[in-house]
Amino acid sequence: MTEQRIAGCYIPTFDLQGKCDILIEDGVITAIEPASGSAVGAIDGSGLYAVPGLTNAHTHSPLSLMRGAAEDVSVDDWFNKRVWPMEVNLTPERVRVGARLAIAEMLLGGVTGFADHYFHADQIAAAAEELGIRANIAPTFFSTDDHRGRDEAFAVTRQIAKSGSRRVTASVGPHSTYTVSEEDLSASARLADELGIRVHIHAAENMQQTHSSLDRLGVTPLEVLARTGVLGAGAHIAHGGGIVTDDRDLLRANAATTTVACCPKVYFKHDIDPITPIRLLHDVGVTVGAGTDGAAGGNTLDLWEAMRWTALAQKRQEHDPLFLATREAFDIGTRGGARAASHDRSGTIAQGMAADIVLLDLSRPHCQPIHDVFATLVYSVQPSDVVHVLVDGELVVENRTLVHADLGEIVGQARDVAPELVRIHEGEAVQHYAP
């Protein structure tokens, strides 16, 4: 039995006042007690705030290698003239290098888990295991006549789902309702049912996609998910800016197994309006998590920033400064993201929950003074305030340093690999964006 103790920390989300000790056994929080006064044999939390680890509810981790390579373009050109032509250059090795860079950035910034959606997903799983982060990985595919992409993705999905890993799990990962046939969406739902997992998919990303679906098919993207069985199997929907009031009843009926990721930075960057309708989703009982999307779009994998932008964007969209109060916004980055990533025992510091914990130093000028600790967490904290990170009770970041890998080596590999990955060959692309 592995035992661990965090000594003398503050816990904003717990009822005890003053300093606390957190007791951990085999990766699970077993007790939270008033501080004993001794840090001998423990992680010293003196002066630090312990908060639930953040979960990135939607990203494409290998796109960290394309950071800054697709700027100042429309959504159509971002896909058709930048990212999808670059993805012709993907190899398993390059995916592994990009995933390691992304995971390093997330861990150092207090992200203990993420929901990923990408190709060569076995390499992302390997990188997650190596660095110690929690990950739910959806091997991605487009529909093709020979079903090769689907079959390969399904094989990797089975491999990850049956691996027995405590930290790395799987979702089924069809790319979207506009690049995957209804036949393949139905097959995805059946696989999810068989394996007891969910489907992570781009759907109703913006209103253009919803209008296009109505014109082509006579139904919204959410209705496509319903009639193919994806909603019934359990869906994690990326973005959802095109979710409309006509989808309300479908969402309410499937609220227990449906989640949505809001990635606000990329919506502002690409002038997408409206953005994820969190008020509508919350009204029907659907959980929302904060995400960064890939770094080719949002540039950073900073979940503190994603929480902040989510709260501010919703206040502006709803014309209501009272909507998404600080505690609610913090829940979207922690508990909401964990549920979106199917990490049901993460996102909360409480007895019986997984010990996915971040220790923060809030003493720096940008966090002081503290009048409302949740306002500080949502609107002031920066990744550099993260001191220690535990995943499953194990220290994976200690004193702002990765425990299981050398950051210089990770960054050096990324610099070496990135130039070839972003090289564009005229007339080549993995897909054409035309929702």
Q: Residue 120 and residue 116: Cα distance in Å, rounded?
A: 11
- What is the Cβ-side half-sphere exposure of residue 133, based on CA atoms within 13 angstroms? 36
In terms of domains, do 295 and 156 share one?
yes
* pLDDT given for residue 2 in this prediction: 83
Nearest by Cα to 349 from 50, 75, 134: 50
Is the residue at 105 inside a domain? yes
Is the residue at 38 inside a domain? yes
Is the residue at 430 inside a domain? no
pLDDT one-digit tens code per residue, 73-120:
999 999 999 999 999 999 999 999 999 999 999 999 999 999 999 999
Pairing of strands 199-203, 401-402: unpaired
In terms of domains, do 394 and 354 share one?
yes
* pLDDT given for residue 18 in this prediction: 86
Q: Residue 359 and residue 48: Cα distance in Å, rounded?
A: 6
Structure tokens at 309: 């932008």
* Last residue in a domain, options 291, 318, 340: 340
pLDDT(16) > 80: no
In terms of domains, do 167 and 282 share one?
yes
Q: Residue 84 and residue 432: Cα distance in Å, rounded?
A: 8
Q: What is the DSSP string of 5-27?
A: EEEEEB-TTSS--S-EEEEEETT
CATH at residue 181? 3.20.20.140
In terms of domains, do 20 and 147 share one?
no
Distance linking the first and last C-alpha atoms of the chain = 52
Binned at pLDDT 50, 70 and 90, residue 169 comes out as very high
Domain hosting residue 200, numbered range = 53-340
Measure Cα distances from 197 to 151, 179, 233 in Å.
Answer: 17, 22, 8
Q: Residue 322 and residue 86: Cα distance in Å, rounded?
A: 42
pLDDT one-digit tens code per residue, 363-399:
999 999 999 999 999 999 999 999 999 999 999 999 9
In terms of domains, do 264 and 327 share one?
yes
CATH at residue 27? 2.30.40.10
pLDDT one-digit tens code per residue, 27-76:
999 999 999 988 899 999 999 999 999 999 999 999 999 999 999 999 99
Is the residue at 213 inside a domain? yes
As a whole number, the mean pLDDT across the chain is 97
Structure tokens at 296: 């080719």
Is the residue at 128 inside a domain? yes
Sheet holding 20-25, edge to edge: 28-34, 20-25, 3-9, 43-44
pLDDT one-digit tens code per residue, 411-435:
999 999 999 999 999 899 999 999 8
pTM summary value: 0.97
Q: What is the tally of structural domains in the chain?
A: 2
In terms of domains, do 29 and 122 share one?
no
Measure Cα distances from 366 to 11, 260, 313 in Å.
Answer: 20, 31, 22
* Last residue in a domain, options 340, 371, 393: 340
How many C-beta atoms lie closer than 10 Å to residue 275's C-beta? 22
In terms of domains, do 147 and 162 share one?
yes
pLDDT(346) > 80: yes
pLDDT one-digit tens code per residue, 186-245:
999 999 999 999 999 999 999 999 999 999 999 999 999 999 999 999 999 999 999 999
pLDDT(13) > 90: no
DSSP annotation of 229: T
* pLDDT given for residue 39 in this prediction: 87
Is the residue at 431 inside a domain? no
Check: CB of residue 277 under 8 Å from CB of residue 313: no
Question: Which phi and psi angles does 135 have, rounded to 5°?
Answer: -145, 140
Q: Residue 69 and residue 86: Cα distance in Å, rounded?
A: 10
Question: Which phi and psi angles does 239 have, rounded to 5°?
Answer: 85, -75
* pLDDT given for residue 17 in this prediction: 74
In terms of domains, do 109 and 198 share one?
yes
Q: What is the DSSP string of 362-398?
A: --SGGG-S-SSHHHHHHHT--GGGEEEEEETTEEEEE
Nearest by Cα to 307 from 335, 346, 271: 335
Is the residue at 383 inside a domain? yes
In terms of domains, do 63 and 190 share one?
yes
The sign of the torsion formed by the CA atoms of 253, 339, 106, 430 equals: negative
In terms of domains, do 57 and 121 share one?
yes
Q: Residue 427 and residue 40: Cα distance in Å, rounded?
A: 63
* Last residue in a domain, options 340, 358, 376: 340
pLDDT(1) > 70: no
Check: CB of residue 61 under 8 Å from CB of residue 98: yes
Is the residue at 164 inside a domain? yes
In terms of domains, do 193 and 154 share one?
yes
* pLDDT given for residue 15 in this prediction: 72
Q: Residue 135 and residue 155: Cα distance in Å, rounded?
A: 18
In terms of domains, do 169 and 285 share one?
yes
Binned at pLDDT 50, 70 and 90, residue 330 comes out as very high
DSSP annotation of 171: -
Report which secondary-structure segment, H or E, holds 17. Answer: none
> Across residues 121-143, what is the average pLDDT?
98
